[in-house]
Amino acid sequence: MRIKIIKPCSCSQPPVKTGSFFRKSDSKYIQRWKCPICKKTFSAATGNLCFAQKKRRLNPLIQKYLLGKVSQRRISIFLKINRKTVARKVIFLGLKHHLSRINYLEKYRRQKTLKLQFDDMITFEHTKCKPVAISLLVEEGSRKILDFEVSSIAANGRLAEISRKKYGKREDHRRRGWEKLFRRTQSIIDEKAHFKSDEYPLYADVLRKYFPNSTHEQFKGRKGCVVGQGELKAGGWDPLFSLNHSAAMIRDGLGRLVRKTWCTTKRLDRLRDQLEIYIDYHNRVLTPP
């Protein structure tokens, strides 16, 4: 594999070799380079996403465990590493797969997509009194998850009053989330695209704002067919199958989204990181090319 050398200065002369060092974390010799003009030294590792990592050998393994519903605490026991190391790896892998997903979407810039489905998946942070919406945009047919957004929402039903009493008024950021998502995806979706969703009143409104020339079909919400898998619908053919099936796969793939679990989300940015890790894998490996 050719390693791209990133020169940290903008001097005109090419860098010269200046020794090497042994990197213990993956048992590799790394070439050091020097700029003949400003004398700055750097190596093939400079600027790499894994720069300064001491446990880089474990990255692929941790990713596998995270995608296999293993809790962070159990991963730390399996691999004999500290819990904080695992927590830091979630952030690193989140960034890595975010970049990978953006890269994957490049092909949609050349050929914009025409058929989409979207909806919110509900989970929570810390307690059911603090629900969170995961807004998902899926390409119909291929089931590729093009984009997502995580927004806090207010509790409703039986928990609404308890939630207000205990944690105060909780703001609803769902509209803001969908606005961000549609603004971001304007470059990969055809302006005359066809969208499908359920009848949640907010959807038509936000969609019209960012895709005024698109068509939008809304379907009545349906009951789930399996307890704890509300996304898989009972009663035969589901018009929102691409979306619901992808959502069900997310719920099954990430420990913290399985119902009645001990794994819960404590921070929304970490939920985002784990979604990035899952969605990149979903798009590249789990769904047909």
Q: Give residues in contact with Zn ion (CB under 5 A).
A: 9, 11, 35, 37-38
Indicate the residue among 41 and 215 with the shorter CB distance to Zn ion: 41
Q: Which residue has the tokens 């969703």?
A: 197
* Distance, CA of 18 to CA of 262 (rounded, Å): 52
Q: Which residues touch 286 (CB under 8 Å, ≥6 apart)?
A: 249
Indicate the residue among 16 and 285 with the shorter CB distance to Zn ion: 16
Q: What are the strands of the beta sheet with 16-23, ordered from one edge?
A: 16-23, 28-34, 41-43
Closest approach of Zn ion to the CB of residue 35, in Å: 3
Closest approach of Zn ion to the CB of residue 29, in Å: 24
Closest approach of Zn ion to the CB of residue 36, in Å: 8
CB atoms within 10 A of CB 73: 13
Q: Which residues touch 84 (CB under 8 Å, ≥6 apart)?
A: none
DSSP-derived pairing of the beta strands 113-124 and 189-198? parallel
Indicate the residue among 7 and 74 with the shorter CB distance to Zn ion: 7
> Alpha helix (H) ranges present in 122-172?
159-167
- CA 156, 182, 259, 244 torsion: positive or negative? positive
Closest approach of Zn ion to the CB of residue 40, in Å: 5
Indicate the residue among 11 and 70 with the shorter CB distance to Zn ion: 11
**C-alpha dihedral, 179 to 183 to 121 to 240, nearest 10°:** 120
Closest approach of Zn ion to the CB of residue 21, in Å: 20
Closest approach of Zn ion to the CB of residue 6, in Å: 13
* Distance, CA of 218 to CA of 233 (rounded, Å): 16
Indicate the residue among 37 and 49 with the shorter CB distance to Zn ion: 37
Indicate the residue among 5 and 286 with the shorter CB distance to Zn ion: 5
